[in-house]
Amino acid sequence: MREEINRLMELQTIDRQLKELEESLSSIAGQVVLLREQLEGNQQELDRLTEQDAEIIASRKKAERELAEGEVRIRNKRMRLTLIRNEKELQALSHEIETLKDTNQRIEAELLATLEGADERTAKIKELTQAIAKGRAELAKAEKEIAAEVEQLKASIEKHNRSREQVAAAVEPNLLSRYKMIFNRRAGVAVALAKGGTCQGCRMRLPPQLYNEIQKHLQIHFCPNCQRVLYYEG
pLDDT tens digits along 84-133: 777 888 888 888 888 989 988 888 888 887 777 788 888 899 999 999 99
Residues 129 and 216 in one domain: no
Q: How far apart are CA 181 and CA 16, in angstroms?
A: 14
- Residue 21 exposed, middle or buried by CB count within 10 Å (0-12, 13-18, 19+): buried
Higher model confidence: residue 109 or residue 191? Answer: 191
Q: 229 and 8 in contact (C-beta within 8 Å)? A: yes
Residues 160 and 220 in one domain: no
Residues 163 and 178 in one domain: no
Average model confidence (pLDDT) for the chain? 89
Residues 160 and 212 in one domain: no
Q: Is the pLDDT of residue 1 over 80?
A: no
pLDDT tens digits along 64-94: 888 899 889 888 888 887 777 778 888 888 8
Number of domains in the chain: 2
- The pTM of this model reads 0.54
Q: Is the pLDDT of residue 148 over 80?
A: no
Domain with 182, as residue range(s), is 172-234
